[in-house]
Structure 1
Amino acid sequence: MSTEQEVSGTTDLLYQLDDRPPVAKAFFAGLQHVLASFVGVITPTLIIGGVLGLGEHIPYLISMALIVSGVGTFIQAKKIGPVGAGMICVQGTSFAFLGSVLAAGFLAKSQGGGPEEILSLIFGVCFLGAFIEIFLSQALSKMKRIITPLVTGIVITIIGISLIKVGMTDLAGGFKAPDFGSLQNLALGFTVLVVIIALNRSANPWLRLSSIVIGLIVGMVIAMFMGKVDFSSVGSQPLVSIPVPFKYGFSFDWVAFLPIALIYFITAIESAGDITANCSVSKQPIKGEGYIKRVSNGVLGDGVNSLLAATFNTFPNTTFSQNNGVIQLTGVASRYIGYYIALILVVLGLFPVLGAVLQQIPKPVLGGATLVMFGTVAAAGIKIIASEELTRRKLLIMAVSFGVGLGVTLVPDLLQQAPKLVQNVFGSAVTSGGLVAIILSLLLPEDKAMVAAERESYAYSKQTAN
């Protein structure tokens, strides 16, 4: 039996964390991670640029987002000293900062600032805010009552469920699409989904490894015949984009800084959850000193990468959740795949025309691929929770956290009467649900006598059933 077969048979992974896959397989695995994260990397920039009227600066900002994501992914995979988790932790522009970044931009705009003044203030407050995440990463080892499997499992599950909405929206055609929910879009998206599922169940490791890429290619070809692909804008892209530190200057304002600082605190907890999910799908420990150290190093990597992001004119970075789904689907957890992901992202950033081609992938095609990945993220969170002994206290924490977090998602107008700062912070399911899980874990004491009684009752009921 080959090493590859042994690994697959014993751990359900084709390649484990420190294995080195052949170049061709590693490239395909890396490409699938890029395809899973590409839209997530550039979308916040497109939203911010459009809302704040940044116009001609948007292509450059997109290029910088891709380059910094590549460099950050390399740092996480390589682990430079204490910086980096040493895993496939794909870095990308964080959606969590959208509200606070837009608030900072509107503040600069209200003071008469143009695009360069807007970006100067945004990148200034984001640069200084990154030190909050860097500081928190060093305190995680002392926060064992917060960074527990229960809390991280709840956060990961909420992340996955929240992302499912994004995947399903894309599958139907994309937000505010004129043909949203059309039979053509649904058929296209579900075709991609079926192809990926079928290939992922194949015994052939090459087909399993390439399931997402093949699914996207099949979807793209069908979409071209349906007239849903337009490459006319590709030729208008600049030939090369060169990174220039603080190209737009550096400025600061406390009013803009405070909301961003709070989001950095939340994303540190979110990143801890994402890295825990990565450990789970990569068959690494999710308890003990080694696990805490890996999470601390990964969150430190997020903070350092956000420093780089602000320095090189893009928005805060975080560890992407969807790539844990890619690891689960492909069975490739090798951290060396991170090197290939980094290279592809940097090349896409340096040569914008390549990124422009990927931007033409229709939303239903992407939705069909990402839907199963996002569902896998939620399943990873449930798996972590299931590994815990679920006492009444833990069930109560889960119930309230899911209720609040998902309630905010299901009823988005809940906070419409609240101050804008409260809306920006607690309007996110991950933020509200995660904070509730943390607060209840700290406030609700563990009753050891009650736990012992529950164990005894469970053992008795199991014995009776047998």
Structure 2
Amino acid sequence: MASHAADTRRDVRYEPDERPPRLLSLGLGMQYALLAVPSIVLSPTILIQAAGGSDAYLMWAVCTALAICGITTAVQAVRVGRIGAGYVMLMGSSSAFLAVSVSALEQGGPGLLATLIIVSSLFQFALAARLSALRRIFTPTVAGTVLMLIPVALAPVILGKLADVPPGVSPAAAPVTVGVTLLVIVVSALRGSSLWRLWGPVVGILVGTVTGSLAFGLYDTAGVRQAGWIGLPPIAYPGLDLGFGPEFWALLPAFVLVTLVGAMDTLGDGVAIQRVSWRRPRAIDFRSIQGAMSADGLGNLLSGLAGTLPNTTYATGISIVELTGVAARSVGVSIGLIFVAIACIPKFLAAIIAIPGPVVAGYFVLLVAK
């Protein structure tokens, strides 16, 4: 009896099966959304701007990315058949796909990107069905090597944002703005409380944007003024490239490899969320992890069908569950609904898209480093 009492996590206020007040679920859902939306929006923004895509395609990709993240976050929470973890697992755009996706857009356009994402997502469904195969393929050595190579591949894309400033501005604009952004995020991470560490990246983006705007005029408000308050973007669906030419076969192994990395990430997050969601420790439910990976695969499949960047689980969600003690599934549903609602607010999305390039670079340098 004493042993069971010692093992009980008293900080868990609501387990997955329990129902907190609706206002609490909505309030927490809004906090999750505000923490994740910058990354969800900025990832496809970096991709499409780096590849020279149109503004119409950019807004379409951002809107559909948010909507798909909302759908998959809700599916993770409620579990539909064998798809979903049954836990609060925050889904967001995957920065790991940026480098290979830029190559796909440059070599074959959005149609090639969409086809590659769809085909590679099928591998994730297969791995979810045979979870043991993932561990045999991705040994610690292989996984570590790939995880180190992804930031290297991303470096040219991220560093390109450092020089993304209007002509004629002060030469100090980029270094000062990125320096302020990095300083705020790093100080929050090293010296702040658990709550400040969570909000540090968002605060860093805000402070960096205000600095760049007031000191150097880096924030372009034209797109924000032109965007409507409520509505959906014009359909800019790129279609699929079913020619399966040499570009497809050359890029497919890289897409599959990054998909496997995402599967490993989801596996780790699936284990971690189970450990922080119950008052009494339970054996790890690997069917739940299979469901989480299947939901991740579903998100990638939908992303390919929409022609936007694939998604993955965000570890931020685990930190919030541990910090608040609220692991109820209703929170996951609330997050999903809020993501979908935000996808229908073009002015808010335009405000994030307009964040200066140096701020985005500083944010992603630390995001990739984590």
- Alignment TM-score, normalising by the size of structure 1: 0.59
Write the deviation string for residues 14-45 of structure 1: whole angstroms up to 9, x where unpaired. Answer: 32222222222212211221122112212221
SS of structure 1 residue aligned to 2:13? coil
- Given that residues 42 and 352 in structure 2 are in contact (C-alpha distance below 8 angstroms), is that contact kept between their aligned partners in structure 1? no
In 2 relative to 1, CA 251–330 (structure 1 residues): closer, same or farther, beyond 3 Å? same
1:20 is aligned to: 19
Higher relative contact order (CA 8 A, sep 6+): 2
CA distance in 2, matches of 1:147, 1:305: 23
Deviation, 1:222, is: 11
Match of 2:272 in 1: 277
> How far is 1:266 from its partner?
2.5
Deviation, 1:51, is: 1.5
Whether 1:241 and 2:232 are equivalent positions in the alignment is yes
Is residue 67 of structure 1 aligned with residue 67 of structure 2? yes
Residue in 1 aligned with 2:330?
336
The residue aligned with 2:97 is: 97
Moved more, 229-238 or 296-305: 229-238
In the other structure, the counterpart of 2:252 is 257
Q: Paired residue for 1:389?
A: none
**1:188 touches 1:223 (CA, 8 Å); kept in 2?**
no
Change in 2 beyond 3 A, CA 1:27/1:219: farther
| Alpha-carbon distance in 2 for matches of 1:129, 1:319 | 17
Provide the rounded CA distance (Å) in 2 between the counterparts of 1:258 and 1:214: 36
Structure 1 spans left out of the alignment, 5+ residues:
1-5, 109-117, 201-210, 375-408, 410-428, 431-466
The answer as to whether partners of 1:77 and 1:87 remain within 8 angstroms in 2 is: yes
Instruction: Assess, with a 3 A threshold, how the Cα gap between structure 1 residues 191 and 102 changes in structure 2: closer, same or farther.
Output: closer
2:181–2:207: 8 Å Cα contact kept in structure 1? no
Q: Larger C-alpha radius of gyration, 1 or 2? A: 1
Q: Is the 8 A contact 2:41 2:353 kept in 1?
A: no
Q: CA 1:199–1:294 in structure 2 vs 1: closer, same or farther (change >3 Å)?
A: closer
Q: 1:322 aligns with which of 316, 337, 341?
A: 316
Report the CA distance between 1:70 and its aligned residue.
0.7
Asked whether the equivalents of residues 195 and 215 of structure 1 are also in contact (C-alpha less than 8 Å), the reply is no
Mapped contact 1:189–1:364 kept (Cα < 8 A): no
Provide the C-alpha distance between the structure 2 equivalents of 1:188 and 1:334, rounded to a whole number of angstroms: 32
* Alignment-mate amino acid for residue 179 of structure 1: V
Distance 1:189 1:105, change over 3 A: closer
On the 8 A contact 1:97/1:316 being kept in 2, the answer is yes
Classify 1:227/1:15 alpha carbon distance in 2 versus 1 (closer, same or farther; 3 Å): farther
The number of residues matched between the two structures is 332
Aligned equivalents of 2:126, 2:92: Cα separation in 1 = 21
TM-score, normalised relative to structure 2 = 0.73
1:291-347 Cα deviation digits (max 9, x unpaired): 111100110111111111111231212112222222222222222111111111111
Q: Which residue number corresponds to residue 123 of structure 2?
A: 132
Aligned counterpart in structure 2 of residue 303 of structure 1, from 297, 300, 314:
297
Task: State the SS of the aligned residue for 2:15.
Answer: coil
Secondary structure at the aligned position of 1:11 is classed as coil
User: Is contact 1:76-1:86 (8 Å) kept?
Assistant: yes
1:122 maps onto 2:119 in alignment: no
1:186 CA drift (Å): 6.7
Pair 144,212 (structure 1): closer, same or farther in 2 beyond 3 Å: closer
> Aligned pair in 2 of structure 1 residues 281, 128: CA closer, same or farther (>3 Å)?
same
Tell me how large the CA RMSD over aligned residues is.
Answer: 4.4
State the Cα deviation string for residues 74-119 of structure 1 (Å, max 9, x = none). 11111101100011112122112122212222221xxxxxxxxx11
Change in 2 beyond 3 A, CA 1:102/1:360: closer
For residue 258 of structure 1, what is the amino acid of its counterpart?
Answer: P
- Provide, for residues 108-153 of structure 1, a one-character-per-residue CA deviation record: whole Å limited to 9, x for no partner: 1xxxxxxxxx11111012112211101110001x4496599x96xx
Question: Is 2:344 the partner of 1:350?
Answer: yes
Which ranges in structure 2 are unaligned for 5 or more consecutive residues? 164-173
What's 1:384 paired with?
A: none
Structure 1 residues 155 and 292: alpha-carbon distance in aligned structure 2, compared to 1, 3 A threshold: farther
The secondary structure found in structure 1 opposite 2:285 is helix
Distance in 2 separating the partners of 1:361 and 1:295 = 36
**Matched residues in 1 for 2:16 and 2:120: separation?**
32
Counterpart in 2 of 1:312? 306
Task: Tell me the amino acid that sits aligned with residue 17 of structure 1.
Answer: P
Contact kept? 2:111, 2:240, Cα under 8 Å: yes
Partner Cα separation in structure 2 for residue 345 and residue 66 of structure 1: 6
1:77 matched to 2:44? The reply is no
Is 1:178 the counterpart of 2:175 in the alignment? yes
